[in-house]
Amino acid sequence: MSEEPIDPDSEAVQHALETLVELEETGTLDDLADAANLVSLASEAVDDDMVRSTMRAMVHAGELFDTAAGEPEALRNLEVMTAALSETAPDPATAPDQVGMIGMMRKMNDPKTKRGMGFLVQLLHELGDQLEQRAHRYDFETEIETERP
C-alpha cells in the first residue's frame, strides 16, 4: 500500500465519492452495510475446518455437475427415465398390480414393453462396456494400441 498522503481533490478520491453518493441515493449502501454485518458474523464464526469441509462437499457436487455437463445425451435419457418413473406410478401409494410369470410373458407381447426391454438390454450392454473400459483405465500395466485409428 502507498504511504503517500491522500489528496482530497484527486480524480481517484472524487470518483470514489461519486460512487459512494450513487450507492447512497439508490439505497444500495444500506444493503451493503447489512451484507457487511453478515460478513463480520462469518468472520467470527467460521474456522479452517468449516471452510475445508464445506468446500469439499461443494467440490464433490461440482464434479457431479461437471460429469453431467459432459454427457448431454445421458441427461436426455435421464429425462426419459424420470418421465417413465412418474407415469409408472403417479401415486406411489397405489402401485401397479402384481405380475407373475404368466402376466410377465403376456406383457412381453406388448410393443411398448418390448421397446423398454430393448432400451434396458442396450443399457446393460453399454454398462458392461463402460465397466470394461474403466477396468482398462485403472490397469496400470495395460499395453497400449500404438497404431493410429
Partner 1 sequence: MTHDIVIVGGGVGGTVTANRLRKKLQREVSGGNVRIRIVSDNPEHVYKPTFFYVPWGESEPEDARRPLADLVDRRVELIYDRVTHIDTSGKSLDLSENGSMPYDYLVVATGAMPDLDDTPGFGPDGDGHHFYDAEAAMALRQELSAFDEGHLVLSVIGTPHVCPAAPVEFTMLADSRFRKLGKRDDIDITYTYPLPRLHSVGPVAEWAEPRYAERDIQTQTMFNPETVDSGNSVIHTVEGTDLEYDLLVGIPEFEPSPLIAKSGLGDTWMEVDKHTLESDHAEDVFGIGDVTNLPTSKAGSVAHYAAGTVVDRIAALVRGHEPRTIFEGDTICFLEAGADEGSHISFDYETDPVVRDQSEFVHWAKFAYNEMYWLTARGLA
Residues that bind partner 1 (CB under 8 A): 1, 43, 46, 48, 51-52, 55-56, 58-59, 62-63, 66, 70, 133-134, 137-138, 140-144, 146, 148-149
CB of 137 to partner 1, least distance (A): 4
Q: Which CB, 3 or 91, lies closer to partner 1?
A: 3
Angle at 39 between CA 29 and CA 26, to 5 degrees: 10
d(CA 69, CA 80): 17
Q: Which CB, 40 or 82, lies closer to partner 1?
A: 40
Q: Which CB, 14 or 133, lies closer to partner 1?
A: 133
CB of 132 to partner 1, least distance (A): 12
Instruction: Give residues with Cβ within 8 angstroms of 68, minimum separation 6.
Output: 74, 75
The amino acid occupying position 97 is D
CA terminus-to-terminus distance, the chain: 58
CB of 35 to partner 1, least distance (A): 13
CB of 5 to partner 1, least distance (A): 18
C-alpha cell at 83: 418421465
Q: Which CB, 10 or 133, lies closer to partner 1?
A: 133
Q: Judge contact between 107 and 113, C-beta under 8 A.
A: yes
